[in-house]
Structure 1
Amino acid sequence: MSGRFAVATGRRAQSPVGRLLTGLDDRTDNPRRHGPQLGEIAATAMASATPSDTRFQARRRGRDPAVHHARTDDSRLPGGTPRDEAELLIDERLKFGLDPASLLRLLERFPGRRGNAELARQVRLAVTRFASEPERSLGRALHRIGLYLEINAAVGPYICDLVDRRSRTIIEVDGREFHSAAGVFSKDRRRQNALVLDRWLVLRYSAFDVLAAPDVIAGEIASVIRRRRESRR
């Protein structure tokens, strides 16, 4: 595990799913020995995830632990791990060094093994270029409905949160703490004007709204992008 990942995940690497993911590099390096075991390791790790792991995640993200835990109890991966925790760990591990294509090839060699299909599905839905938790959460929600956008992509001189070039649509996720500063606020206005004048549609969402209802916002974005793609044919 790289130093960057160790710093980024902190205590998460000590959770059962975290222990699985931090060991995947070794297993993918030796597929003959470890390939058949990946799904079973995943299922075992997921089954042993504890509520305390989830409450810790909620505190890290600034949410109320009781509310967060109640929501994830109804949305668990096979074996019992809270979906939010597993998705976050998978996304971070793929972002900081584990090659998703290599992992998928390995999992596809053993399709009948317990847990392999779900782990492969999670890898396909992963978001790896996120710069913040709201971006990651929204990216995941978009992937779940089959919409894959560029994340933190260059549009002219600007780096934009999510980009769909076919429809010329940009999605920005703004945290109040950073974007309310006077200089940043003015820069955002100049940047948005430049993009709009260049015929881009810019949709802006607050980080609070994205974390509260990522699937609702993803649905709205998908509807807008679909209409704009059709109108540009």
Structure 2
Amino acid sequence: MAAGVSDWQLRHREVVRSSRDTYLPRAGVDELRQRIDAVLLGAPPGAVLSHLTAAALWRFEVPLVGDDRRVHLSVPPGSRVRSRADRVVHASPVPGPETRRLHGLLVTSASRTWMDLAAVVPPAALLAVTDQMLARRFPADEFPAVVARARGRRGVATARAVMSLGDPLAGSPMESVLRWILLEAGLPCPVLQHVIRARGRFLGQVDMAWPDRRVLVEFDGEVHRERRVFVDDVRRQNGLVLAGWTVLRFTSADVLGRPQHVLATIRAALGLA
């Protein structure tokens, strides 16, 4: 009102109401930083960006959680601030050593973010984040210490189940999800990014393989729909088949929609059916 903005202007089609008392330009709704800035206007002292928002700021891809555009905040217990349409409030103390400054914002550290995620995402999604952290050289032996510090908190059981299964060679978050499905079902752990050669000739580097069974699995993401990639895939597959390998290819529709079929197919290929 002080700036001369009227109620009529706030009802303009180019303005979006993100919560009871907050409005954003429609062009800014898709920008995480603008949503964060809007939420922080009403955040209490000591609020820290956490959970899925911290993961996004750390550039961790978290599968299986959908398009959650709400900003996640951790606030001191006893704070009167509550969740609303544009924010999720977690009443949890965040000690100073568990915070960092990213892009000028106070955010939970990578290790604290991982532990927070353990309480709100499926184990397969947490494994995907674990793989990404290891790929960025996060020390593998730090995970047990993070879990020990979190004793008694939600998510500890999930974190403990996942922490020893991480692999920095995972090619994508959905490959991590597929690997979790395999390990949870008791299948042998595959070798990731296995290089296959025949008579000294390079045939390919594959997503997952069981070299002793000459079975490999490829996860086909969106990029594999591009014509050039598709053609290369077909040519490489022919070479692998001729070299005596069983080639199995799955998409997100298989992994998410028919996981039991995926498991049965891999079991049969491994001779475990």
Normalised-by-shorter TM-score class: 0.5 to 0.7
Q: 2:149, 2:131 → 1: CA distance?
A: 22
Q: 1:171, 1:215 → 2: CA distance?
A: 15
CA deviations on 1:103-143 (whole Å, 9 max, x unpaired) are 34x479x6994365542221123343222232121111112
Decide which moves more: 178-187 or 110-119. 110-119
Q: Which residue of 1 aligns with 2:194?
A: 153
Q: Which residue of 2 aligns with 1:188?
A: 233
Q: 1:167, 1:129 → 2: CA distance?
A: 21
**Count of equivalent residues:** 172
Change beyond 3 A, Cα 1:165–1:127: same
Alignment partner of 1:114 out of 129, 138, 152: 152
Decide which moves more: 81-90 or 202-211. 81-90
Q: Which has the higher helix share?
A: 1
Q: 2:109, 2:166 → 1: CA distance?
A: 14
- Long gaps (5+) in structure 2: 1-56, 63-68, 75-89, 91-98, 100-106
Q: Which residue of 2 aligns with 1:52?
A: none
Q: Indicate the structure whose relative CO is greater, using CA pairs within 8 Å and at least 6 residues apart.
A: 1
Alignment partner of 2:210 out of 164, 171, 193: 164
Alignment partner of 2:250 out of 205, 210, 214: 205
Q: 2:243, 2:216 → 1: CA distance?
A: 12
Letter in 2 for 1:6: W
Q: Which has the higher strand share?
A: 2
Change beyond 3 A, Cα 1:111–1:195: same
Q: TM-score scaled to structure 1, two decimals?
A: 0.57
1:164 CA drift (Å): 0.6
Question: Do the aligned residues in 2 keep the contact of 1:90 with 1:123 (CA within 8 Å)?
Answer: yes
1:21 CA drift (Å): 6.0
Alignment partner of 1:22 out of 110, 129, 146: 110
2:223 maps to 1:178: yes
- Root mean square deviation, CA, Å: 3.9
Q: Which residue of 2 aligns with 1:54?
A: none
- Long gaps (5+) in structure 1: 25-40, 47-76, 229-233
Change beyond 3 A, Cα 1:123–1:216: farther
Q: 2:158, 2:168 → 1: CA distance?
A: 18
